[in-house]
Structure 1
């Protein structure tokens, strides 16, 4: 149950109180009374979050967390450690073990629910990206990527420069390999736009005015350069409403304005490292998805679009033409006697020829024109808002460009090739995109049968 919360506590009264609190917020819950039961239920139910009391009869909360993190099926599930006698040492031990957050009893319901909402959103995003990445890999679109992460850029933004400087001094000792810099509030947006955006912003909630740090966070979330940055809001421990609001507005993490003390610096560094790991994992997953999408649409040899993308694009182009009453052209281009190139010179040379032809097509068409490789040596060109005379002139230009200059090969040789072109005009009738492609294909066969190296217009296009 991905949206459920597992409550782990050996005291039934505590479980009942938490269940009532969470049910009031419309959460589904399940319960466990021991560490062993928690491990078994988490593996089976796959909850969206685990609320784990650290004092259990059969094993420590730290041991439960370590086992959850060691299991690939449960390691991504957020675990919130719950304790009534927290100490700085215990908090550090829990975070080192893999706890996502720590709540001290008695709970502040407002802050607890805000934290749970934030963690459940985070877990849902992570799970969705992981699923899409796995799908891409199963389809063969992407390989697993190296998990090396470069040094992080961390920006400190506080109301007073000396406060930010103290934060930096304390964190440098805990994160010596990362770049930590102090940025004034007035430069936070412009600096992020001009240079490579920081990976993390640590922002004091109250800057020149109360709540201004939250407004700065909203601005950063609205900019493409900083939309995916980790944002940590620093407040005083007593500012519960501000903390809850920050989490609901999209803060990834909270910190204390007194984070320069040794224990707080260590805790903050652990939380920042967790957020960095998550950020880098999401970046890798986005790259995998982008690569999968690219491979789904693009021919890997020539870099042109493939048949799948061309079909969808032609449908959109046809709809646009019917709305605007402006025609569009469809060409099918085929390399003449290409089989003899492969037979004589080998397939690697054939690939060089195809790549060179693709490059010449790109260089001699408009940016708005679609160019796709739809077969071994067959290309499709779609030209929006184009009349028949314009399309024919473009086709003749492409034919001359291919014919006029031999294609240089890597070994210094050159091969002369020609193309035949079939041309059809769309947007003037109710012909479907596939019917237009069929008309262009018939015209292409006509060009081949009457001598090759020529442009032939489909009858429908001529009549139009």
Structure 2
């Protein structure tokens, strides 16, 4: 995931060491030594993450955090502070001021990069929701959301009832949110998003104890719990466990023997962020439902898509990044309507739309173009990962077998045309035309396959030959770590 990071530190050696480690991971890095410089650079734009030290020469770090978070132009930028775990006063002040995460030195490259990936991934999803809200307003619908009022719900899942109870006791009087204890089985049985806690706090466990990260993976893959916030608690010096937790989509983590006040502040921040995302998502969905969504599938329609695709292309080029476009068509759809009736055809459309929608990242865009055609836009993605994503979606549809009658499951497949734009300037109309031409190639070379724009007929991905069999898929939204997960599917 590309990004431009700002390192703030008045000690040149610290800045240089960090820059080397981050540049090797292909991040673009800017540097400065004072809080005033940091705010100016962040305000000028094109900064995706600010990394802060425990102290600055010209102001308190907490004061800089407040200033960044109070300015609409910089409020969405995630802040990562490097602070010793024993420096409780500064850590708490920074959390109160809006810092998004804390990393305790010394740390390895793996721990640093995992935190950076997690913050960039989570905040890109938040920004995409905000962009969609702006699109809704530009089209003439959508209202400003009301402020949050009711407390959130927090579920504690320790490795034992005693550990969970200890956490709850430590939090007594420190948070307004409702705290309750649940076990693994109760968490796995949640099937209604309205009954799901806003935040799960899960013990990662240690040798000989339950593996809490397996539970996290399950929570992230299930529709009812996918959008809940998750914070994991790890034994000390468990770098592999902490890195894995961040890469499978937790929103924060702590080590055992944490400061209860720090946990309380993190709870408040994660619940507020999750509630804001829910509220914004609901606002966008409600405002767009009548004017910008397809009533059959619930997907965005072409009216919304034309507007949002254009803005997505502009952002991609401005940031010097890349995006992929998939044109998806259901194979032999007319024959389904002719043989089984339009009600059966509608059922197939709904099933295909749901399968695609449930297996995209939060920042991806899915549109029903019309009839049996869909468009998927995948921003900020490498060409190889886009190709694997397309094949993954093709495989998901091939496994559907929707029933149009009690004893008549249908075999359904899709053909997909894939086009890729950026970082060089490109036109969205041209990208759509390329994807459409690739789709035609997929249809004419046998259907149920993916073809790449401009690659010739031999570049078609014949099912089962490029990405392997599609098994045990789960979802691949941002919550599960983005498209990195596809490579191991």
Alignment TM class, shorter chain as reference: 0.5 to 0.7
Conserved? CA contact 1:204–1:257, under 8 Å: no
Q: 2:267 aligns with which of 262, 268, 272?
A: 272
- Tell me: CA distance 1:293–1:265, structure 2 relative to 1, closer, same or farther (3 Å): same
2:180 maps to 181
RMSD (Å), alpha carbons: 3.4
> In 1, are the aligned partners of 2:158 and 2:203 still within 8 Å (CA)?
yes
TM-superposed deviation, 1:38: 0.6
Q: Relative contact order (C-alpha < 8 Å, sep 6+): which is higher? A: 2
1:295 aligns with 2:290: yes
- Alignment of 1:202 with 2:204, yes or no, is no
Q: Is the 8 A contact 1:126 1:282 kept in 2?
A: yes
Is 1:54 the equivalent of 2:25? no
Residue equivalent to 2:113:
113
Residues 134 and 258 of structure 1: CA distance in aligned 2, closer, same or farther (over 3 Å): same
Q: Distance in 1 between matches of 2:194 and 2:337?
A: 43
Asked if the contact 1:174–1:269 (Cα under 8 Å) also holds between the matched residues in 2, the reply is yes
The answer as to 2:224 corresponding to 1:225 is yes
| Aligned partner of residue 174 in structure 1, secondary structure | coil
Q: Gaps spanning 5+ residues in structure 2: where?
A: 304-328, 348-370, 372-489
- Paired with 2:336 and 2:269, the residues of 1 have a C-alpha distance of 52
Distance 2:132 2:330 in 1: 29
Bigger shift: residues 194-203 or 26-35: 194-203
- Deviations, residues 66-119 of structure 1 (Å, cap 9, x unaligned): 111111111121111224685112211111111112233333322121111100
Quick check: 1:321–1:328 contact (8 Å CA) kept in 2?
A: no
SS in 1 for 2:173: helix
Q: 2:333 aligns with which of 308, 320, 325?
A: 320
- List per-residue Cα deviations over 1:362-408 (Å, max 9, x = no partner): xxx99969xxxxxxxxxxxx9xxxxxxxxxxxxxxxxxxxxxxxxxx
- Given the superposition, is the C-alpha separation of residues 318 and 104 from structure 1 closer, same or farther in structure 2, using an over 3 Å criterion? closer
* Structure-1 residue corresponding to 2:88: 88
Residue in structure 1 matched with residue 247 of structure 2 by the alignment: 248
- Judge conservation of contact 1:232–1:251 (CA < 8 Å) in 2: yes
**Secondary structure of residue in 1 paired with 2:99:** coil
Residue in structure 2 matched with residue 170 of structure 1 by the alignment: 170
Cα distance, 1:7–1:194 mapped onto 2, change above 3 Å: closer
Residues in 2 aligned to 1:240 and 1:174: alpha-carbon distance in whole angstroms: 29
* CA displacement at 1:164 relative to structure 2: 0.4
Cα distance 1:144–1:209, how it changes in 2: closer, same or farther (>3 A)? farther
> What is the match of residue 404 of structure 1?
none
Whole-angstrom distance in 2 between the partners of 1:241 and 1:37: 35
Whole-Å separation in 2 of the counterparts to 1:240 and 1:317: 45
Cα distance in structure 2, aligned partners of 1:9 and 1:235: 29
The answer to whether the Cα contact below 8 Å between 2:231 and 2:251 also exists between their aligned partners in 1 is: yes
How much has 1:237 moved relative to structure 2? 2.5
**Matches of 1:228 and 1:274, distance apart in 2:** 15
Residue 155 of structure 1 aligns to a residue in which SS?
Answer: strand
Structure 1: segments with no counterpart, 5+ residues: 310-315, 330-364, 370-381, 383-464
Contact 1:155 1:180 in 2 (8 A): yes
* Distance (Å, rounded) in 2 between the aligned partners of 1:7 and 1:208: 36
Alignment of 1:31-180 (within 5 A): 31-83=31-83, 86-175=86-175, 177-180=176-179
Does the C-alpha gap of structure 1 residues 83 and 163 become closer, same or farther in structure 2, counting only changes over 3 Å?
Answer: closer
Alpha-carbon offset, residue 144 of structure 1: 1.1
The change in CA–CA distance for 1:3 and 1:238 in structure 2 (over 3 A counts) is same
Q: Give the Cα–Cα distance (whole angstroms) in 1 for the partners of residues 257 and 192 of structure 2.
A: 29
Query: How many residues of Structure 1 are paired with residues of Structure 2 in the alignment?
Result: 321
Q: Distance in 2 between matches of 1:222 and 1:96?
A: 31
| Equivalence for 1:4 | 4
Q: Distance in 2 between matches of 1:203 and 1:288?
A: 30
Distance in 1 (CA, whole Å) between partners of 2:277 and 2:193 is 23
State the TM-score, normalizing by the size of structure 2: 0.59
Shift of 1:273: 0.9
Alignment pair present for 1:214 and 2:213 = yes
Query: Residues of 1 paired with 2:215 and 2:45: CA distance?
Result: 39
CA gap 1:14/1:323 in 2 versus in 1, 3 angstroms = same
Shift of 1:125: 0.7
